[in-house]
Amino acid sequence: MNGGQDLGGMMAFGPIAVEQDEPWFHAEWERRAFGLTLAMGATGSWNIDMSRHARESLPPSEYLTSSYYEIWTKGVEKLVVAAGLVSPEELTRGQSLSEAASIKRILKAADVPAVLARGGPAERPIEQLARFAVGDQVRTRNMHPKGHTRLPRYARGKIGVVELIHGAHVFPDSNARGDGERPQWLYTVCFSGRELWGEEADATLTVSIDAWESYLEPA
């Protein structure tokens, strides 16, 4: 969806402030927000693409005025309500008002290092052959879905060149809707800065994005 998270090419946000030796967390509540997001995701009540969409679908005014972990926390709040684990009233009051809902799995503290090390591989087997090869010129679709997508707004309807083929991976657009993984071939596509942002862009700039096959068509 076209939300507050899709900032590529937008102006007046100022430079990115790089903090030297930046700590993992700037406050204890951020550490807890990360742990809560990880623990709730491990319950199996939603998938990673649903989690991303929950954050993306925050109103732009709220998204852009919230810190990184505030966005994560607000996403979890939306997800637990949507999954029927917590009611809006319980969130407001900060206490349980009914019997706890059942969940599929519980992530215990002792298991966290192994879970983080394992990650969440999204590569899947697929029978059909890849439609594109390295070196092919492709055009991205000009699409504006209401749901989750990994094709950024600034790179839609643009011509680029396939750099890499990554195999078949879970298709995030369908996975975020709960319509199944529907794996597709995944490519890295390289674009010139001027293709993305016009003649005034830096002529030496190139941008590479990972794009699923249904995002692409032959140029």
Q: What value does the mean pLDDT take over residues 30-37?
A: 95
Q: Is the pLDDT of residue 60 over 90?
A: yes
Contact by Cβ (8 Å): 215, 156: no
Confidence bin at 15 (pLDDT 50/70/90): confident
Q: Which of 83, 118, 153 is the last residue of a domain?
A: 118
Name the 3-class secondary structure at 152. Answer: coil
5 lies in a domain? no
Task: Please check whether residues 88 and 154 belong to one and the same domain.
Answer: no
What domain range includes position 194? 137-218
Task: Please check whether residues 100 and 141 belong to one and the same domain.
Answer: no
Q: Is the pLDDT of residue 87 over 90?
A: yes
Instruction: Report d(CA 208, CA 179) in Å as an integer.
Output: 28
**For residue range 161-196, what is the model confidence (pLDDT) as tens digits?**
999 999 999 999 999 999 999 999 999 999 999 999
Q: What value does the mean pLDDT take over residues 21-46?
A: 95
The per-residue pLDDT of the chain, averaged, comes to 95
Instruction: Report d(CA 89, CA 96) in Å as an integer.
Output: 9
Q: Count Cα atoms within 13 angstroms, Cβ side, for 216.
A: 25
**For residue range 102-142, what is the model confidence (pLDDT) as tens digits?**
999 999 999 999 998 998 899 999 999 999 999 999 999 99
Task: Please check whether residues 177 and 204 belong to one and the same domain.
Answer: yes
| More confident of the two residues 101 and 209 | 209
Q: Which residues of 124-146 are buried (b: 16+ CB within 10 A; e: fewer)?
A: eeeeeebebeeebebbbeeeeee
CATH of residue 93:
1.10.472.20
Which residues are registered as beta bridge partners of 190? 161, 208
When divided into structural domains, the chain yields a total of 2
17 lies in a domain? no
23 lies in a domain? no
